[in-house]
Amino acid sequence: MTRLALSDADKHARDWFVKTTRDLGCKVTVDEMGNIFAVRAGIKNDKPPTFVGSHLDTQPTGGRYDGILGVHAGIEMLKVLNENWIETEYPVGVVNWTKYDDFQPTPSPAQAHPSLAKKAPAFPSLCPPPAQNLREVHPGTATMAEELSRIGYLGSVPASHEATPMAAHFELHIEQGPLLEIANRKVGIVTGVQAYKWLTIDVKGRDSHTGTTNLVSRADALLAASKMILHSHRLATANSALASTGILNLKPGSTNTVPGHVSFSLDIRAPADETVAKVLALVKEDFPKIAAGENLAGLNDGGTPSLPCSIDIIEDFDSPATTFHPSCIDAVTRAAHRVLGPGSKSLTMEMTSGAGHDSVYTGKRCPTSMIFVPCREGMSHNPEEFCKEEDCAIGAEVLLHSVLRFDRMREVQRVSWKQEPYTL
Amino acid sequence: MTRLALSDADKHARDWFVKTTRDLGCKVTVDEMGNIFAVRAGIKNDKPPTFVGSHLDTQPTGGRYDGILGVHAGIEMLKVLNENWIETEYPVGVVNWTKYDDFQPTPSPAQAHPSLAKKAPAFPSLCPPPAQNLREVHPGTATMAEELSRIGYLGSVPASHEATPMAAHFELHIEQGPLLEIANRKVGIVTGVQAYKWLTIDVKGRDSHTGTTNLVSRADALLAASKMILHSHRLATANSALASTGILNLKPGSTNTVPGHVSFSLDIRAPADETVAKVLALVKEDFPKIAAGENLAGLNDGGTPSLPCSIDIIEDFDSPATTFHPSCIDAVTRAAHRVLGPGSKSLTMEMTSGAGHDSVYTGKRCPTSMIFVPCREGMSHNPEEFCKEEDCAIGAEVLLHSVLRFDRMREVQRVSWKQEPYTL
């Protein structure tokens, strides 16, 4: 499935979304970032709607569930409400967010680090840079505003939580990881999104001939980098964090030359900001020791002491942890237990999302939570992505009941909630 | 210094070589590979000359000594013989070999492995494939025969030890490593060239999201490869061998994806074939265990057990050890002690060459040895390559005396040497 944001295929899906939600009685608005809001009236329409949302566009070679499931489940919610003549206390809505991974600001920090160019997370959807300042990442030079205009989705409403206030945002999504499947659970109650930092580690030794340079006389940047990659895995294990290297480049790159220069990425993640900060501090403390030739945790055991390498540790990107709203988490929890019935305790689990989502950004402005359903072998961003029909249905039902419960809670609890910084 | 074989710059150097040696009274012949032989008559000219030789062409970004020093020292030898009216027993000669790293057979195994394309060692200069079957490695499509013809050095003499017999071959060369400098020695008496094998190690795991895949659920090909690189260093240390990784490629190559595929080179060297074979056997035994997740030598200590990777170990290239001829080694040894005078024992050392040389190939057909002189910090194949004037002079003098000594030995020892498979 390839349905890049603002492509012709995306226009097709957007047209379908607008027609379908209008046919279901919704009022549809489009903002200047192309986000589409479909709202079904409630009894009291002077307050903002409770929204569900996700995105219909996909990764360059994506699957059929990432994002799409969340929007479809929202439409299913609208249908069920209509078919059962249900009047909600407040309006409810469905959003199709414009995923703008595919566009980048110009000039952007990501362009200074080409390795990041296609992977920088989306900007907070509710306070984005102007669309005319965003340019396509994938081949092409159009700005986002040009492409929105081309497909007819350059709206006039400002892209802002003030122009389109939300009482809450719920998002159903496939897990994109293996934890639910491994634990044999049906529903993940998502309490937040983990923190992460991206680093570039630059190790410099000395190019030398593999045949004429004995081990003692080497400053082997790749051997040092290998020890650091292994050590980062051990640091992650010790701190219940994640550490991953996805990019590694070396120079000069010939079979008979010991590499004098290695540059690699390090992605550190954990549910808490403090954990990520702790692992980062350990990396900053230990990597220079490894480069200098110290025997850290037995890495040098059985090896030959050699010449030191130098090291630079560059912090490229920082995404602090997101904590979802207790009321929304509560709504999801109660909805899940209601949908799954007896034995539901062993079918749900609280979890932290490893990946970013639209809900990370709504969570900055309104009460938010997410619902995860299992996907096969945790695979995502891949045509093999798969979620069972039965699990999609459970997820959609939990989403519906989360919204209904939240709608009722808004009415009942509105006094006590006045302390919250949100407009409920 | 960039003087690629058969370039215009190389033609210039060749023209100078031919004119200079002719002016010194030599008879010059060129074979069909462009090798140039300059021979100075001796008393008995019915036997093959004692040769010295190396190459005047350079690496793409080389220095001023690698190869060039050996040819210049040969010309210096001719001058000294002339200036001192010395008549040798047998003819002596100087060869400028065509270094044909810059040309590859078509189709060649190297082309199937692009990583090797520019680094495959020269073919045995005395039994090469026909020049018309060799094509340029560096940009361009000319065959070697075309380029030889273009610069006027496509000779008619077959490139063969039968057409151009040699009584012996001596080669003066910079060490291209740091051992002489570290040991504070002036002359390396080279007893042979170490054996080496080149491998490609292909590790396959599974691409997965760095944020959503916990450590247990990963098959991280780069973490496995890092352990293997560290382990190969330990195996080399334990067996007094060398192990080096100069190339590493991974896929898919994004900061937030655990790499599912890593391919890296492994260069194993040691003075004895058996040592290289032993390290190879250990690599073949241990690497699959590391890929499978076994805890070898504590590599997994402090880490998280995860999913297995698969592995392929491909043997790309094998160069057995070369042992130089005892008579030539003896000539170099005695010459070195004579040149260096009292205290010479602490100024020389026997050593094995780590890199390949023209002498590796002459060694297959005639008695051969080499003389090494120190180069600064062991640097070579680099514009910073440097050998002190004083050390160049010592090397040239040792070369001269090695040839004179060998010339005398041929006369004295010719009866006992009849058992040798060489025509002295």
DSSP state letters, B61-118:
T--SSTTHHHHHHHHHHHHHHHHTTPPPSS-EEEEE---GGGEEESS-HHHHSGGGTT
pLDDT score for B60: 73
CB-nearest to B258 from A115, A244, A299 is A244
| Terminal-to-terminal C-alpha distance of chain B | 38
Token digits for A63? Answer: 């699957």
Q: Select the residue from A249, A255, A380 to test the B interface by mutation, using most B Cβ atoms within 10 A.
A: A255
B173 plus B184 within the same structural domain: yes
- Is B424 a member of any domain? no
Distance to chain A for B26, nearest Cα, Å? 35
3-state SS, A43-88, equals CCCCCCCEEEEECCCCCCCCCCCCCHHHHHHHHHHHHHHHHCCCCC
Quick check: A219 and A260 in contact, CB under 8 A? Answer: yes
SS3 per-residue string spanning A83-126? HCCCCCCCCEEEEECCCHHHEEECCCHHHHCHHHCCCCCCCCCC
pLDDT at B254: 84
DSSP A384: T
Do A223 and B233 make contact, defined as CB atoms within 8 angstroms? Answer: yes
Q: How far apart are CA B371 and CA B398, in angstroms?
A: 8
Q: Do B303 and B327 share a domain, yes or no? A: no
Let me know if residue A338 belongs to a domain. Answer: yes
Residue A190 and residue A267 in one domain: no
A157: DSSP letter: B
Partner residue opposite B210 with nearest CB, options A244, A255, A353: A244
Backbone angles phi, psi at B102, to 5 degrees: -80, 0
Task: Provide the token pair at B197.
Answer: 């094998």
Residues of chain A positioned with their CB less than 8 A from the CB of B353? 211-212
What residues in chain A have per-residue pLDDT under 50? 104-128, 415-424
Whether residues A246 and B223 touch (CB distance < 8 A) is answered with no
SS3 content of chain B, % helix, strand, coil (to 5): 35, 25, 40
Same domain, B49 and B109: yes
Is A115's CB within 8 Å of B255's CB? yes
Domain final position from A319, A336, A362:
A319
By CA distance, what is A224's nearest residue in B? B230
* Cα–Cα distance for residue pair A93/A74, rounded to 1 Å: 8
**B111 within domain boundaries:** yes
Question: How far apart are alpha carbons B347 and A383 in whole angstroms?
Answer: 67
Please report where in the chains the tokens 């209008």 appear, as a residue: A22
Partners of A94 in the beta sheet?
Answer: A38, A52
B266 beta partners? B199
Cβ proximity of B360 and B370 under 8 Å: no
For residues A284 and A246, membership in a common domain is answered with yes
The C-alpha of A403 sits at a distance from chain B's nearest C-alpha, in angstroms, of 26
The residue behind tokens 């109660």 is: A334
ipTM higher than threshold 0.85:
no
Distances (CA, A) of B221 to A247, B265, B299: 12, 15, 15
Number of residues written out for chain B: 424
pLDDT of residue A298: 95
The reply to whether B78 and B139 lie within a common domain is yes
CA distances from B21 to B18, B28, B95, B209 (A): 5, 8, 10, 67
Contacts of A247 in chain B (CB under 8 A): 250, 253-255
Query: Which residue in chain B has the smallest CA separation from A219?
Result: B244
**Of the partner residues A116, A255, A354, the one whose CB lies closest to the CB of residue B119:** A255
The full DSSP string for B196-259 is EEEEEEEEE-B-EETTTS-GGG-B-HHHHHHHHHHHHHHHHHHTT-EEE---EEEES--TTEE-
Are B302 and A220 within 8 A, CB to CB?
no
pLDDT in the model for residue B233: 98
pLDDT at B140 (0 to 100): 60
Domain at B45, CATH number: 3.40.630.10
Distance from the Cα of A143 to chain B's closest Cα (Å) equals 24
For residue A269, tell me if it sits in a domain.
yes
Contacts of B297 in chain A (CB under 8 A): 301-302
DSSP letter (8 states) at residue B42: -
pLDDT of residue B113: 27
Judge whether A1 lies within some domain: no
Chain B residues lying within 8 Å of A226, measured CB to CB: 225-227, 229-230
- Residue B82's domain spans which residues? 8-194+321-419
Nearest-CA distance from A414 to chain B in Å? 36
Which of A287, A319, A351 is the last residue in one of the domains?
A319
Q: Are B199 and B314 in contact (CB under 8 A)?
A: yes
Inter-chain contact A116–B175, Cβ cutoff 8 Å? no
Say if residue A410 is in the same domain as residue A306: no
Residue numbers in A near B374 (CB within 8 A): none
Indicate if A313 and A343 belong to the same structural domain. no
CA–CA gap between residue B81 and residue B87 (Å, rounded): 8
| Residues B276 and B300 occupy one common structural domain | yes
* Residue B101, pLDDT score: 60
Residue A132 DSSP class:
G
Distance CA(A351)–CA(A359), nearest Å, equals 15
Q: How far apart are CA A167 and CA B137, in angstroms?
A: 67
B210 closest CB neighbour out of A182, A242, A301: A242
Residues B121 and B186 in one domain: yes
CB contact (8 A) between residue B247 and residue A246 = no
How far away is chain B from the Cα of A204, in angstroms, using its nearest Cα? 14
Q: In angstroms, rounded to a whole number, what is the distance separating the alpha carbons of residues A395 and A374? A: 10
Cα distances from A377 to residues A175, A385, B244, B304, in angstroms, run 10, 9, 36, 19
Copy the structure tokens of residue A290.
């490894």
Task: Report the CATH number that the domain containing residue B286 is assigned in CATH.
Answer: 3.30.70.360
A254 part of a folded domain: yes
Domains held by chain A: number:
2
**What is the rounded CA–CA span in Å between residue A234 and residue B99?**
48
Q: How many residues comprise chain A?
A: 424
The span from the CA of B270 to the CA of B352, in Å, is: 9
Q: Is there a contact between A196 and B213 if contact means CB atoms under 8 Å apart?
A: no
CA angle B4, B9, B13 (to 5 degrees): 105
8 Å CB contact between A40 and A28: no
Provide the 3-class DSSP secondary structure of residue A13.
helix
Q: Which residues of B touch A379 (CB under 8 A)?
A: 208
Q: Do A313 and A401 sit in the same domain of this protein?
A: no
pLDDT of B132: 64
- Kindly determine whether residue B255 and residue A233, on different chains, have CB atoms separated by under 8 Å: no
Question: Same domain for B32 and B165?
Answer: yes
One digit per residue, the tens of pLDDT, for chain B of length 424 reads 888 889 999 999 999 999 999 999 999 999 999 999 999 999 999 999 999 999 999 877 788 999 999 999 999 999 999 999 999 999 999 999 997 665 544 433 222 222 222 323 333 333 345 666 666 655 567 888 899 999 999 999 998 889 999 999 999 999 998 899 999 999 999 999 999 999 999 999 988 889 988 899 899 999 999 999 999 999 999 999 999 999 999 998 888 889 999 999 999 999 999 999 999 999 999 999 999 999 999 999 999 999 999 999 999 988 899 999 999 999 999 999 999 999 999 999 999 998 888 898 899 889 999 999 999 988 887 788 999 999 999 999 999 999 999 999 887 765 344 434 444 3
Work out the minimum CA distance from A197 to partner chain B, whole angstroms: 11
Which of B319, B337, B368 delimits the end of a domain?
B319
CA angle A2, A171, A421 (to 5 degrees): 135
Looking up tokens 């009460």 gives: A367
Would B2 be classed as within a structural domain? no
Please give the pLDDT value at position B414: 54
Contacts of B229 in chain A (CB under 8 A): 222-223, 226
> Which tokens in the block code for residue A340?
């799954």
Any domain includes B3:
no
CA dihedral defined by B321, B327, B329, B333, rounded to 10 degrees? 170
